Amino acid sequence: MPILSLFFGQATGFLVLGPSFMMGLSAAILVIDYMVFRVAMRVFQRENILSQSR
């Protein structure tokens, strides 16, 4: 939701965000996405899911 509010605020002219802010926000989202991906890879156990379905 906060990302959408930034987008709509920028589109309507309510917020004026510069390129440096947008690059920083993109970098922060990239780092968070990488961390969530690493946790998901550690938690996901394919073998258990396959053995339970049989």
Rg over alpha carbons for the chain, rounded to the nearest Å, is 18
Is pTM beyond 0.85? Reply is no
DSSP annotation of 13: T
pLDDT at position 21:
83
- Distance between CA 19 and CA 14 in Å, rounded? 16
User: pLDDT value at position 10?
Assistant: 78
CA distance 39 to 45: 12
Q: In angstroms, rounded to a whole number, what is the distance separating the alpha carbons of residues 30 and 24? A: 10
Q: According to the model, what pLDDT value does residue 31 have?
A: 98
> What is the chain's pLDDT, residue by residue, as a tens digit (54 residues)?
677 887 787 788 777 778 898 899 899 999 999 999 999 988 887 777 777 766
Alpha-helix runs per DSSP H in the chain: 2-12, 19-43, 46-53
